[in-house]
Amino acid sequence: MITVSNVSMQFGGSTLFKDVDLKFTGGNCYGIIGANGAGKSTFLKILCGDLEPTTGEVAIPKDTRLSVLKQDHFAYEEFTVLDTVIMGNARLYEIMKKKDELYAKEDFSEEDGVLASELEGEFAELNGWEAESDASKLIQGLGLSEDILYSLMSSLSGNEKVKVLLAQALFGNPDIILLDEPTNHLDIEAVRWLEDFLSEYFGTVLVVSHDRHFLNNVCTHIVDIDYTKIKMYVGNYEFWYESSQLMQRMIKQQNKKAEEKIKELKSFIERFSANKSKSNQATSRRKLLDKLTIEEMPASSRKYPFIGFDPDRDLGKEILTVNGISKTVDGEKILDNVSFTLGRTDKVAFIGESEQAITMLFKILMEEEKPDEGTFKWGISTSTSYFPVDNNKYFDGCEMSIIDWMRQYSNDETDTYLRGFLGRMLFSGDDVYKKVNVLSGGEKVRCMFSRMMLYGSNVLVLDRPTNHLDLESITAVNNGLVNFKGVVLLASHDHEILQTVANRIIEITPEGCIDRAGTYEEYLEFRKNR
């Protein structure tokens, strides 16, 4: 359990949040959400004691073990993987080292014998005899070979280090686990394993994540950081989002009878509480929703950017034909005989182990790179808009304001039109005069989407479009792509976008590609069984 009392946090005169009173209890998973810069990571640091709040206190019962996902991937370079994982239980690791030192002594005294006996007793209580096998299970669960247990951390790749640090945070049944973006750099199978692990976990979990699918699967509560306030709501992210949208609509429906509104809200709660999953978290969430009163429903004032794509012309029969495209980069063949044909209703998710390969394919299709072999042909009726994974070339060294930057892509160049357009993208007031070369990552992405919308294209090519975005913007992108009446070529880490947008999956492999119609989850099931 964690009790937060009257906590406030200020930085340089600005208040991140104030007067926070919350209680986090065992058996629940709390998803912490908020706009970029709202203070999500700061709040976690306060909870684990890495930061002192400006006012208030955080109380954790004595003898409660708290575990935190470390962010420094180079902190354990001189340690083995096994030692790094076991360090997740600091006391157990300390005992192991003390035991080793004692048994290595040449002049082993009677006092040493008594101390060794005490240490052995505590070692057993902490499940020390199972430590290696427990560490191995975590490592293998996350998709790594147990053969790396005795390898030095310095010999591992970046993605492997991420998984080891996650295993460290989960090791030894801690009472409380704090996770800041745990799904970053994880493959699909590792994310699924983590979801299953947390769904059956008995303790208290607090997690910051932009992965809506992950939040939906594991969370019993949502903790919303919004305009200096932190509020807790029952349910997962989907429930929080849908109910806050519903409450906003009802506020506007002044003429609707109160009884009708209550009936609609009760029906809404019942729909979300009817969860058939047997996991601990899902069962807990269902029980909490059953007890939820109308007054406790979220009514967020959160603003969402408008993202919608309206094609200027209809698509013809021929969209895109790709024949035998291959490409070698730095001596490595990353594309090998890739072939496919797209139809006018296709929304294709491109997946694969190599993000570089997918990015290269998109660059070839956008004529930014040339293939070593093979050809491609766009249909006469197609017009494309491209969202690159790296947008720096559009902003670096550019001294234009946002409104002038947008003007170069718009048919209507009047300030009135552009200010209205940018307002819907959450650039209001004097924001439109900010220089584009000083914008944050999220602001640049919103500018790129604005540019794409102004083009009126009927084919969208998007390479990881949700990078740098907060949950509100990700949701807006998701809705915009679902409603788009054209063809989509999409690469993304966001499970929810892939599942709700794509009707076809193309997996880029070292030997070409695998092409199947259907949803993302249907493809994952196919891949698991093949």
Tokens linked to 320: 């895109």
Tokens linked to 126: 């902490």
DSSP for 462-474 reads EESTTTT--HHHH
Residue type, 474: I
Confidence of residue 279 (pLDDT cuts 50, 70, 90): low
Is the pTM higher than 0.85? no
Query: 2-11 and 55-59 as β-strands: parallel, antiparallel, unpaired?
Result: antiparallel
pLDDT over 80 at 290, yes or no: no
* Residue 133: φ, ψ to 5°: -70, -35
Confidence of residue 256 (pLDDT cuts 50, 70, 90): low
pLDDT over 90 at 170, yes or no: yes
Tokens 């509100």 belong to 472
* Residue 172: φ, ψ to 5°: 80, 20
Bridge partners of 55, per DSSP, are 8
* CATH class of residue range 320-395+439-529: alpha beta
Bridge partners of 383, per DSSP, are none
What's the average model confidence in pLDDT over 108-136?
83
Residue 342: its pLDDT value, please? 96
Residue 303: its pLDDT value, please? 77
516 vs 248 pLDDT, higher one = 516
Residue 206: its pLDDT value, please? 96
Residue 108: its pLDDT value, please? 73
Residue 154: its pLDDT value, please? 92
Q: What angle do CA 310, 247, 237 make, to 5 degrees?
A: 75
CA distance 439 to 304: 19
Domain positions in the chain: 76-171, 236-296, 320-395+439-529
Residue 297: its pLDDT value, please? 63
Confidence of residue 286 (pLDDT cuts 50, 70, 90): low
431 — alpha (psi -120 to 50), left (phi > 0) or beta? alpha
CA distance 419 to 431: 10
HSE, CB side, 13 Å, CA atoms: give it for residue 102. 18
The string of pLDDT tens digits covering residues 184-236 is: 888 888 999 999 999 888 899 999 999 999 999 999 899 999 878 899 988 88
Confidence of residue 470 (pLDDT cuts 50, 70, 90): confident
Q: What angle do CA 372, 377, 379 make, to 5 degrees?
A: 165
pLDDT over 70 for what percent of the chain? Answer: 91
SS3 for 349-407 is EEECCCHHHHHHHHHHHCCCCCCCEEEEEECCCCCEEEECCCCHHHCCCCCCEHHHHHH
The string of pLDDT tens digits covering residues 371-427 is: 999 999 999 999 999 999 999 999 988 899 999 999 999 989 999 999 988 998 889
Average pLDDT for the chain: 88
Residue 490: its pLDDT value, please? 97
Name the helix (H) or strand (E) containing 91: helix 90-103
What's the average model confidence in pLDDT over 98-109?
76
CA distance 210 to 442: 13
CA distance 151 to 81: 6
Helix 131-141 with 158-170: angle, nearest 10 deg:
130
